[in-house]
Structure 1
Amino acid sequence: MAPQIREISAELQATAKERLNEDPDRIEADLVALKTWIAQQPHLNPRTDDQFLVGFLRGCKYSLEKTKSKLDKYYTLRTKYPELFNVTDVNDPKLREIHRMGPIVYLPNTLDGARIGMFRIGTTPTDKYNIVDVMRVGQVMQEIGLIEDDNAIINGVVLIMDMKSATAAHMFQMTPGLAKKMTVFNEEAFPMRPKAQHFVNTIPGFETVFNMIKPMMSKKQQERLFVHGKMESLTEHVPLKYLPKEYGGENGSIEEIVAEMDKKFDQYRDYFKANAQYGTDEKLRPGNPIDFDSLYGTEGSFRKLNVD
């Protein structure tokens, strides 16, 4: 049976072949091999629809071993830390309330094929919302992107962290333990590749948090970090026209983008509700189960996760 995946443009297919080692004639065999391995893992209960799994294959450049590792880590961390990584109710009032403030948006037009995401850190008041609450909104968008955004999966994502209106209280909600969990999930478990991460309108306190997070990242990701004091510096990397109208650009308005994503939250209601049934059971993992207390330590500082 032919793989049940969305057809992509000839241009995007050429990019997938060149950058990700994708061979359309081999996708069916790759999916069969991955599903065969999944069936042999008693501890692992993931989604197995073709579009979901091909996102992991593309994110791992069709290395089957890397795909196995990433898929396992994806569900391992979602099961252990559902408050961070496994949203099951997109109708949650707080989640919707935060989303409608527009702290995180993915812009409609791509930059050289890469999706542009913006995290406007100062949008949500710290006396009412924690950064974990905001990140849950981002997790929903990331997962929707994994399913339907071929540009993001194949060409990657350019992230812009805008700190205008942010305060030190926003900065220091990011604890070392939380920073490490997020870094490991995004680098080792989630198959969408950040092409660059730009910080703009930085504020006092940013340097402390930045210097805490940067060493946690791989060398490759560290090289993709850029810090800009002002917008003028950012636009040397991301031309103004690729920013939203509120920034003087031509890439949609935040209000309209938020409204469209709100509709997607509704469309994906049952999808996220089904997330509750997927995950891992460490009691059934072949070999020794993962000792998370030992891995993270009593202070929550991440040491090493190896589920290859």
Structure 2
Amino acid sequence: METLSNNPLLKVSDAEVAMIRRDNNLDTNKIKENLDEIEEWCKKQSHLEGAVQYLNRDIMERIHILAKGSVEGTKKKIDKILTTRGLIPEIMLNKSIDEFNEFQENLIFITLPNLSPVCHSRIFVSQITNPNINNFSFLTYLRYCFMIGEYRLYFEYSMSDRFIVDLKNVNMNIIAKINPVLLKKGETLCTEAYGTKIKGIHFVNAPRYVDKIINLLKQVLKEKISSRVYVHCSYEDLQREIPKEILPKEYGGDSTSCAELAEQWKEYLKTEQARTILETSNKLISDESKRCSIKFNEEYLGMPGSFRRLNVD
């Protein structure tokens, strides 16, 4: 892949692509050679052959980067992504843009358009914009977050993720609706299936009871991730972790406001390209009726949602 597909909401410069490839001991020729081998392997996996026809080489390269340029690691990651998506359909499948109309009126979940110049992470911001929201659904929140993830497969090229969580309008009623089982499934999809490296979860505008939120995360998330939860007492403190030049105006930064970015995402999600990507994402699942049951049990029996697997004689 010589040039990245263009999306102004997920910018990656040529220099950043070159640096990320170099850090993974990859160049254009090596990537082509590796993807040829991976593509041939995919076609020979009976439980994956139906899905991989929708897994274009741009997506395959993103997964190859997540696997640090390892051919065998990429094969395992493709298998795990396509399998786990089907194991947790309540979060991953059968989405429509229209189902999130009310969500977009009350919440913001956006990517910052530029990667961090320090660690080349993609930064996400999560805000509740309506302090009087009374119908918050954590499942809808996760479905929306992972819907944005569908577009990242087509346009992204980052090393890791960081999340800014603005608690300004969060209350105990909302916290009580955070389902620990769903939270664990979200973590499984993020870290085990996609192999996302979470560099930090950054809380801003924290209320007095922020410790309750942190305790919940520590009970559910892996220790490595929960150890990367930070509570920032000021925007200046946040800027020590995420450079001011890419932060939105709301956080003392020099970049576009969250409200403007949310509006840009809303407009993009109405496009034909966005709808096509979302429709295609429903086909990116393995056909477990064609996989050896023993192999499945070895790899996935302990995963959240694995009880959904159909028994095949």
Tell me if 1:273 matches 2:279.
Answer: yes
- The one-letter amino acid paired with 1:35 is E
**Distance in 2 between residues matched to 1:266 and 1:291, nearest whole Å:** 41
Pairs within 5 Å for 1:252-263: 252-263=256-267
- The one-letter amino acid paired with 1:107 is L
- The one-letter amino acid paired with 2:33 is A
Partner of 1:69: 76
Q: Is the 8 A contact 2:83 2:286 kept in 1?
A: yes
Q: 1:33 aligns with which of 37, 49, 64?
A: 37
What secondary structure, in the 3-state scheme, does the structure 2 residue paired with 1:280 have? Answer: coil
Partner of 1:135: 142
Tell me if 1:286 matches 2:284.
Answer: no
Deviations 1:147-180 (A, max 9, x none): 1133xx2x43321111111011222222221121
- The one-letter amino acid paired with 1:127 is N
Partner of 2:199: 195
Aligned-residue Cα RMSD (Å) equals 3.1
- The one-letter amino acid paired with 2:288 is E
Percent sequence identity over aligned pairs? 24
Deviations 1:156-215 (A, max 9, x none): 332111111101122222222112111111111125433322122233554334234336
Tell me if 1:50 matches 2:48.
Answer: no
Q: Which moved more, 1:156-165 or 1:202-211?
A: 202-211
What secondary structure, in the 3-state scheme, does the structure 2 residue paired with 1:88 have? Answer: coil
Tell me if 1:163 matches 2:167.
Answer: yes
Alpha-carbon shift at residue 24 of structure 1 (Å): 1.8
- Residues 181, 38 of structure 1: CA spacing in aligned structure 2 closer, same or farther, 3 A cutoff? same
The number of residues matched between the two structures is 293
Deviations 1:258-301 (A, max 9, x none): 2211222123102211223331222221242449996368xx89
**Distance in 2 between residues matched to 1:232 and 1:132, nearest whole Å:** 33
- Residues 249, 16 of structure 1: CA spacing in aligned structure 2 closer, same or farther, 3 A cutoff? closer
- Residues 64, 223 of structure 1: CA spacing in aligned structure 2 closer, same or farther, 3 A cutoff? farther
- Residues 205, 284 of structure 1: CA spacing in aligned structure 2 closer, same or farther, 3 A cutoff? farther
- For structure 2, the residue ranges without an aligned partner over 5 or more in a row are 6-11, 308-313
Partner of 1:207: 211
Pairs within 5 Å for 1:5-16: 6=4, 9-16=13-20
User: TM-score, normalization: structure 1?
Assistant: 0.82
User: TM-score, normalization: structure 2?
Assistant: 0.81
- The one-letter amino acid paired with 1:108 is P
- For structure 1, the residue ranges without an aligned partner over 5 or more in a row are 303-308
**Distance in 1 between residues matched to 2:147 and 2:64, nearest whole Å:** 20
Q: Is the 8 A contact 1:158 1:196 kept in 2?
A: yes
- The one-letter amino acid paired with 1:214 is K
